[in-house]
Amino acid sequence: MPLDQNCLDSGSALVAASVRERPQRHAVFPRVPGQESSGYGERFGEAWRSDATAFVSRRLNTAKVAVTKLSSDDPRPGVSAPLGCEDAFLVGYHLVDYPVHEVFEEGRAAPVTALRTGQTTLYDLRREPQVRINQAIHGVYFYFPRAALNALAEQSQATRIEELHYQPGAGVDDVLMQALVGSLLPAFEKPEQANRFFVEHIMMAVAVHVAKTYGGMKPLVGPVRGGLAPWQIKRVEDTFADNVAGNPSVVDLADACGLSVSHFCRAFRRSQGLPPHRWLLKRRVDQAKSILGDPARRLSEVALSCGFSDQSHFTRVFTDLVGISPGAWRRNQYPVAA
- pLDDT-based confidence at residue 244 (cuts at 50, 70, 90): low
Mean pLDDT for 121-140 is 95
**C-alpha distances in Å from residue 261, one per residue of 188, 227, 239, 265, 276:** 26, 14, 15, 6, 10
The strand pairing partners of 101, in sequence order, are 113
Q: How confident is the model at residue 31 (pLDDT cuts 50, 70, 90)?
A: very low
Phi, psi of 332 (to 5 degrees): -70, -40
pLDDT at 216 over 70: yes
To the nearest whole number, what is the mean pLDDT of the chain?
83
At the top level of CATH, which class does the domain 8-213 belong to?
A: mainly beta
Instruction: Indicate the fold that domain 275-338 takes in CATH.
Output: Arc Repressor Mutant, subunit A (1.10.10)
* Helices and strands in the chain: count of H runs, count of E runs: 12, 11
Q: Tell me: pLDDT of 290 over 80.
A: yes
Of the two residues 157 and 251, the one the predictor is more confident about is: 251
CB 299 within 8 A of CB 326: yes
Q: Quickly count: other Cβ atoms within 10 Å of residue 36's Cβ.
A: 11
Residue 183's DSSP bridge partners are none
Of the candidates 69, 264, 41, 92, the residue with the CA atom closest to the CA atom of residue 184:
69
pLDDT per position as a tens digit, 134-191: 999 999 999 999 888 888 887 777 778 888 999 999 999 999 999 999 999 999 999 9
Q: Is the pLDDT at 310 greater than 70, yes or no?
A: yes
Output 274-282 pairs: Cβ under 8 A, ≥24 positions apart. Answer: 276/236, 276/250, 277/250, 280/240, 280/248, 280/250, 280/253, 281/317, 281/321, 282/321
DSSP alpha helix (H) spans, 243-275: 250-257, 261-272
- What value does the mean pLDDT take over residues 226-237? 84
**Main-chain phi, psi angles of 65, to 5 degrees:** -120, 155
Task: Tell me the H-state helices in 102-174.
Answer: 146-155
Predicted pLDDT of residue 84: 86
Q: List Cα–Cα distances, 211 to 158, 204, 207, 208, in angstroms.
A: 10, 10, 6, 5
pLDDT at 34: 52
More confident residue, 276 or 69: 69
What per-residue confidence (pLDDT) applies to 100? Answer: 94
Q: At 158, which amino acid appears?
A: A
Cβ(239)–Cβ(220) below 8 Å? no
Q: What percent of the chain has pLDDT over 70?
A: 85
pLDDT of 14 strictly over 80 = no
Ranges of each domain in the chain:
8-213, 223-273, 275-338
With beta carbons less than 8 A apart as the criterion, state whether 8 and 37 touch. no
* Amino acid 143: pLDDT: 96
d(CA 62, CA 55): 17
253-277 confidence digits (pLDDT tens): 888 888 888 889 989 888 888 888 8
Lowest mean pLDDT among 30-34, 86-90, 209-213: 30-34
What pLDDT does 9 receive?
Answer: 31
Rg over CA atoms, the chain: 25
CA distance 302 to 287: 9
| Whether pLDDT at 124 is above 80 | yes
Question: Average pLDDT, stretch 220-224?
Answer: 57
Please provide the DSSP assignment of 30-93 as one string.
PPPTT---SSSHHHHHHHTTSEEEEEEE--STT--EEEEEEEESSPPPEEPPP----SEEEEEE
Cβ within 8 Å of residue 254, ≥6 positions away: 260, 261, 263, 264, 265
Lowest-pLDDT range of 4-13, 36-45, 198-207, 258-267: 4-13
pLDDT confidence of residue 13:
27
Task: Grade residue 210 by pLDDT with cuts at 50, 70 and 90.
Answer: very high
